[in-house]
Amino acid sequence: MSKWVYGFGGGRAEGRADMKNLLGGKGANLAEMANLGIPVPPGFTITTEVCTYYYENGETYPADIKEQVSEAMSRIEEIMGKTFGDNADPLLVSVRSGARASMPGMMDTILNLGLNDLSVEGLAKKSGDPRFAYDSYRRFIQMYSDVVLGVDHHHFEEILESVKDDRGIKLDTELTADDWKKVVAQYKEKVKAQLGKPFPQNVQDQLWGAVGAVFGSWMNQRAITYRRLHEIPASWGTAVNVQAMVFGNMGDDCCTGVCFTRDPSTGENAFYGEFLVNAQGEDVVAGIRTPQQLTLHGRELQHSDLPSMEEVMPDVFKELNAIRHKLEAHYRDMQDMEFTVQQKRLWMLQTRTGKRTTKAALKIAVDMAREGLITRKDAIGRIDPAALDQLLHPTLDPKAPRQLLARGLPASPGAASGRIVFSADEAEVWVKDKKEKVILVRIETSPEDIGGMHVSEGILTTRGGMTSHAAVVARGMGTPCVAGCGEIRVDYAAKQMKVAGKVVSEGDVITIDGGTGEVFMGSVPTVQPELTGDFATLMEWVDTIRTLKVRANAETPTDAATARKFGAEGIGLCRTEHMFFDPQRILAVREMILASDEAGRKVALAKLIPFQRQDFIDLFLIMQGLPVTIRLLDPPLHEFLPHTEVEIAEIAKAAGVDVDTVKQRNASLHESNPMLGHRGCRLGITYPEIYEMQARAIFEAAVHVSRDTGRTVTPEIMIPLVGAKKELDLMKASIDKVAAEVFAEQSYAVKYHVGTMIELPRAALLAGEIAESAEFFSFGTNDLTQTTFGMSRDDSGPFLEVYRAKGIYDHDPFAQLDQQGVGELVKIAGERGRATRPGLKLGICGEHGGDPSSIGFCQKVGLDYVSCSPYRVPIARLSAAQAALGDTKGSGMH
C-alpha cells in the first residue's frame, strides 16, 4: 500500500524538510517545524504523487486515499479535542496548496472549512463570540465559492460594500455579529442564484471539493504562466495541506502576520514584519487595512503612527523573536514566516527561505559568513549570478533635477522611467506593439497581472505594504516597485491618476525609485552603479576561489574604464570596426572601401592611422599592462557603405571622383549573404594594406605607451574568421613585417602575440594545424553558433520560438552556449590545439562569455578566460567561482 498522506502536529511529524519533492515546500517545512517543537496547528499533507496520479488517471484519486485522509483527520481531532463535521464544537481546517518550489499567490488557500449553517451556531456558542463565528463563515463561503465553485469574488465584495454603506461604516472590523449574519445570508443567496444549487453543507463534500480545486489550480493559466517564466516542470505537481484552523480574528488579542528573520529589502540583521489585529489569513497581503510593524525599529523606519507588536503584545513578540532565531539557525538562511496569534497564543503557519533583493542577498550572505553561520563558499553559492544584474543597473542621478510627485514604500530597488499604463493588458500592448517602456500603475496587483508586470520597467501601487503581492512579485523579478503610495488616486475608467491636485494620464512619463519609494514626474537621468560594500567583499572572496580569468569586450575608453572598475583582468575582444563609426572617421573608412585600387586605399588609410593609433594608446593606458586582445577588421564591408545621396556626394568629393563611380563601386560591393561573404580575414587577404595599417597603429601605440609609462604592454593581435592555416600564416607574416619596421623606426621593441578566432567549424576541426601558427585561440561563439547551426542570429528569432515550443532546442543557442554541438567543437578545438601547442591560451569572447551556465561549461573544458560585456564582468566572476566550486565537488577530490 502506498503512503499518500503524512501527518504533523503535537510536537512530531512523519515528514521532514528534505522531503520537499514529496510534500511540497510548505508541507515539508510545517513537518520540520513540528519536529523542532515549534507550535504548529496539527494537520496532514497529501503528497505531490497524488497530484501526479490525479492527472495521469483522468482526474481521479488512488483507491486507498480516502481511508488515509480520514485516519489523518482523526489524529488532528485527537490533538485538537474537536471533531470535523460536529455541529456543537466543530473542527475547522484550512486547505492549502504547496508545490516544491514556492509559487507565491499562484495557488488558492481556503480557510475555515467545515462550517455550515448548523456548526456556525455551535462555533458561536462555544466561542461565546457570534461575531467571530459569522465573520469566519462569510470568509469561508466567499473563498470556497470563488476557488472551488467558480463564483467570482466581486459578487461578494459588492454585497459587503453595500452592507457597509447601509450601516455607514468603512472598516470590516466595525461590523457586528448581526451584520455578518446578514452578509452570510446574502452570500448564500448569491451562490444559489449563480449555481442553481445551495452552498454545500456536507463537510466531506467541502473537503474533497477543496482538495480537487488545489489539484485543479496546478493547471490554471496563472500557474502555467508562472511555471513557464520560472522553468518549473508541470510534472512536479503540488501537494495539499489540510491543517486545523487557528483564529486571528477572535478579537483584539488576536492577529495574523508575515515576518522575515532579516530585512528582505536591505538585508539588515533586524527582525522585520507586519501584522494586523483581529484579522485572518491573507488580510495582510491583500492590503485591506494598513498593517502594523512588528518591531519598534521597523515602526520608526516606516514612520508609522500605529503601535508595534513589540509594544502591544510584548510576550508574544518575545516568543516570536525566539522562533525567528531558532529557525534561522536551523535552516542557516533568512526565513520568511507566517503566523497567527489566537488569544495571545502564537502559532506558526509557514516558514520558507525568504525572497530578497540582490542587495539584501549580498549583505545576508556576507554577514552570515562573518557570523560563522555559513562558510564563505556557502556565501558564494547563495548568490544567483544573474541577479547581480539588478545592482549593475543605473540609479537616479543624485544631482539631476526632479519633480517629486508622491512617496510610497520602497518595495523593490532600482530606478525606472516609462509611460504609465493602468492595466496589465495595456502594459503588454504598449510594450509589444508600440515598443514603449511602461510603468504599470495599479491600486493593487493580483496574480492575473503577472504577464503585464513582467514587461513593465517598474510597478507602482497605491495600496498594500512591503509584503503585498506587487512588492513580493516585483522583488522576485528584480523590477523596481513603489508600493502603497496612498496619496495617488487612480481612476481606471478615465485612465488617469490624481495626486496633489495634478492629473497624470495614460502615456505620460513618470520615474519611480524603488530604493526610496519616490515617484517623479517625467524622466529623471540615472547614474552608473559602483562595486562597493558587501558586493565588493563577496567579489574579493569570489576571486580567491575562481580559476577562470575574466576579461571584457571593450573598445571605447569609457567601456574599458567600466570594465576595470568591475574587475576585468584585461580586454578579451576589442572590435576595431567599432572605432570606425565616429563621424570624423567614417568618411575616410568609406573612401578606403570604395577606392578601386591599392593606391586609393592607402591614401584613405593614411588619414585613419592617427585616429587608430590614439585609440590603442588610450586603451593601453587604461588597461595598465593587462592583456589587450585586438581583433583586426572583421565585418562585411557593406556595413560601412554610404546610403544616402548626401553621403555618396561627400565621398565622391573626398576621393576626387564623380558620383557615378561611387555608385557603381557601391553596387559592385553588394553581397547576397554578407555574413558568409567578404569579411573577416578575407578582407586582410584581399586588401593586406588594411591589416597592415591596423598593425602599424597597434605597434606604434604599444611602443609609445611602453616607453613613456614603463609598463609592459603586450598586444594580442587576433585574426577573425580563419578557416585555413594558410590564411593565418599570410596575415601573421605581414604583421611580423610591420612590427619589425616599426621597432626599427622607433629603436624600441615590445612583445606581442598573434592568434586567431575560432568561429568556423572548419577552424575548430583543423585546430591542431592552425595552432602551429596561432599563439592563442579565442572562441567567437556568436559566429561559431551561426555557422554550426547554419542560422543567422538576426533572423532566427521567429522560428526559434517555435523550435523551443516544440522542444527541438531547449534554449536559445545565442543566449546559452549549445554544449552538445557548438560546445563539442570548442572542446575538440581546445584539445587539438593544445596537442600541438601545450599551454595554448584559450578564451571565449562571444555573448556566452557572460552567461552563467555557459561559463560553467568553459570551466569544464579548460578555457583560460571568458570575456564579456563590461557590465557583466561581476556576473562572470561569480559564475566562474561557482563553476570552480562545482568542479571540486564533482571531481570528488576534496
Contact 801, 822 (CB under 8 A): no
For ligand ADP, what does the binding mask look like between residues 347 and 376, x meaning CB under 6 A? --xx--------------------------
CA 337 and chain centroid, separation:
22
Residue 82 Cβ vs ligand ADP, minimum distance, rounded to whole Å: 13
d(CA 285, CA 287): 5
Distance in angstroms (rounded) separating the CA atoms of residues 751 and 691: 19
- Nearest distance, CB of residue 680 and Mg ion, angstroms: 7
Q: Which is nearer to ligand ADP, 274 or 534 (CB)?
A: 274
Please state the length of the chain: 894
Our CB check for ligand ADP shows the closer of 133 and 641 to be 133
Of 239-247, 492-500, 795-803, 866-874: span binding ligand ADP (CB under 6 A) = 239-247
What CA–CA distances, in Å, run from 822 to 372, 813, 829?
Answer: 43, 9, 11
Nearer to ligand ADP, 211 or 539 (CB): 211
Q: Which of 129, 310, 328, 338 binds ligand ADP (CB under 6 A)?
A: 338
Tell the smallest beta-carbon distance from residue 218 to ligand ADP (Å).
13
Q: Which does 299 bind (CB under 5 to 8 A by kind): Mg ion, ligand ADP, none?
A: none
258 within 8 A of 274, measured Cβ to Cβ: yes
Q: From residue 25, how far is each of 38, 42, 68 by CA, in Å? A: 17, 17, 21
Residue type, 147: V
Least distance CB 537 / ligand ADP (angstroms): 34
Q: Report the partner that residue 96 touches, choosing among ligand ADP, Mg ion, none (CB closer than 5 to 8 A by kind).
A: ligand ADP
Per 3-state DSSP, the chain is made up of helix, strand and coil in percentages (nearest 5) of 50, 15, 35
Cell output for 475: 522583488
Considering only the stretches 103-111, 123-131, 658-666, 850-858, report the one whose residues sit in contact with ligand ADP under the rule CB under 6 A.
103-111
Comparing CB distances to ligand ADP, the nearer of 41 and 572 is 41
- Picked from Mg ion, ligand ADP, none, the partner binding residue 783 (CB below 5 to 8 A depending on kind) is Mg ion
- For the CB of residue 244, give the shortest distance to ligand ADP in the complex, in Å: 6
Window contacting ligand ADP (CB under 6 A); options: 190-198, 238-246, 531-539, 801-809 = 238-246
Which CB sits closer to ligand ADP, 106 or 641?
106
- Closer by beta carbon to Mg ion, 142 or else 350: 350
Alpha carbon distance 430, 421 (integer Å): 8
Catalytic residues: 469, 845
Residues 805-844 touching ligand ADP, rule: CB under 6 A, are none
| Residue closer to ligand ADP (CB basis): 46 or 420 | 46
Nearest distance from C-beta of residue 247 to ligand ADP, angstroms: 7
Q: Which amino acid is at 277?
A: V
Please choose which of Mg ion, ligand ADP, none residue 335 contacts, taking the beta carbon within 5 to 8 angstroms, the exact cut-off set by kind.
none
State the alpha helices, DSSP H only, in 635-687.
Answer: 645-655, 659-668, 681-686
**From the list Mg ion, ligand ADP, none, partner contacted by residue 340 (C-beta under 5 to 8 A by kind):** ligand ADP
Contacts of 443 (CB under 8 A, 6+ apart): 461, 462, 463, 490, 492
Per CB under 6 A, contacts with ligand ADP among 262-291 are: 281-282
DSSP reduced 3-state for 602: helix
Stretch of 104-112, 187-195, 624-632, 880-888 contacting ligand ADP, by CB under 6 A:
104-112
Which spans of this chain sit near Mg ion (rule: CB under 5 A)?
Answer: 338, 350, 759, 780, 783
| Residue 245 interacts with which of ligand ADP, Mg ion, none, CB < 5 to 8 Å by class | ligand ADP
Closest CA to 26 of 243, 328, 260: 243
Answer with the entry of Mg ion, ligand ADP, none that 139 interacts with (C-beta below 5 to 8 A by kind). Answer: none
Rounded distance, CA 345 to CA 253, Å?
Answer: 9
Other C-beta atoms closer than 10 Å to the C-beta of 462 total: 22
Residue 281, binding choice from Mg ion, ligand ADP, none, Cβ under 5 to 8 Å by partner class: ligand ADP
Residue selected from 94, 145, 412, 456 as contacting ligand ADP according to rule CB under 6 A: 94
Number of residues that bind ligand ADP (CB under 6 A): 17
Neighbour count for residue 88 (Cβ, 10 Å): 13
Listed residue (359, 300, 288) closest to 139, CA to CA: 288
- DSSP E strand boundaries for 431-562: 438-442, 458-461, 481-483, 489-491, 496-499, 502-505, 509-513, 518-521, 526-527, 549-553
What does the alpha-carbon distance between residue 261 and residue 337 come to, in Å, rounded to a whole number? Answer: 8
**245 touches ligand ADP (CB under 6 A):** yes
Residue 96 or 832 with smaller CB distance to ligand ADP: 96
Which of ligand ADP, Mg ion, none does residue 786 bind to, with CB < 5 to 8 Å depending on kind? none
759 binds, among ligand ADP, Mg ion, none (CB under 5 to 8 A by kind): Mg ion
Kindly report the CA angle at 320 between 314 and 323, in degrees rounded to 5? 145
Q: What is the 3-state secondary structure (H, E, C) of 759-794?
A: CCHHHHHCHHHHCCCCCEEEECHHHHHHHHHCCCCC
Q: Which of 572, 631, 635 is nearest to 844 (CA)?
A: 572
Is position 41 an interface residue for ligand ADP (rule: CB under 6 A)? yes
Name the minimum Å distance from CB 24 to ligand ADP: 10
Nearer to ligand ADP, 340 or 395 (CB): 340
> Which residues, 6 or more positions from 589, have their beta carbon under 8 angstroms from its beta carbon?
580, 604, 608, 640
Contacts 24+ apart (CB under 8 A), 568-571: 568/626, 568/870, 568/873, 569/626, 569/627, 569/865, 570/623, 570/626, 570/627, 570/628, 570/629, 570/865, 571/619, 571/623, 571/626, 571/627, 571/628, 571/629, 571/867
Residue 246 touching ligand ADP (CB under 6 A): yes
- In the complex, least distance from residue 711 CB atom to Mg ion, rounded to whole angstroms: 30
* Nearest distance from C-beta of residue 591 to Mg ion, angstroms: 25
- Nearest approach in angstroms of CB 629 to Mg ion is 13
Site map (CB under 6 A) of ligand ADP, residues 107-146, x = contact: --x-x-----------------------------------
CB of 351 to ligand ADP, least distance (A): 10
41 binds, among Mg ion, ligand ADP, none (CB under 5 to 8 A by kind): ligand ADP
The CA-based dihedral angle spanning residues 445, 447, 449, 451, taken in that order and rounded to the nearest 10 degrees: 140
Question: What distance in Å separates the CA atoms of residue 209 and residue 199, rounded to the nearest whole number?
Answer: 12
Tell me which of Mg ion, ligand ADP, none is bound by residue 613, counting a contact when its beta carbon lies within the kind-specific cut-off of 5 to 8 angstroms.
none
Q: Considering just the CA atoms, what is the radius of gyration of the chain in Å? A: 33
What the block records as the C-alpha cell of 532 is 562597493
Q: Which of 256, 293, 537, 786 binds ligand ADP (CB under 6 A)?
A: 256
Exposure string of 806-816, with b = 16+ CB inside 10 Å and e = fewer, is: eeeeebbbbeb
Please identify, among the stretches 200-208, 242-250, 290-298, 562-570, the one whose residues bind ligand ADP according to the rule CB under 6 A: 242-250
Q: Is 2 helix (H, G, I), strand (E, B) or coil?
A: coil
Provide, rounded to whole angstroms, the least separation between the CB of residue 523 and ligand ADP: 36
DSSP 384-427: -GGGGGGGGS-EE-TTS--EEEEE-EEEE--EEEEEEESSHHHH
Residue numbers at the binding site for ligand ADP (CB under 6 A): 41, 94, 96, 105, 109, 111, 243-246, 256, 281-282, 338, 340, 349-350
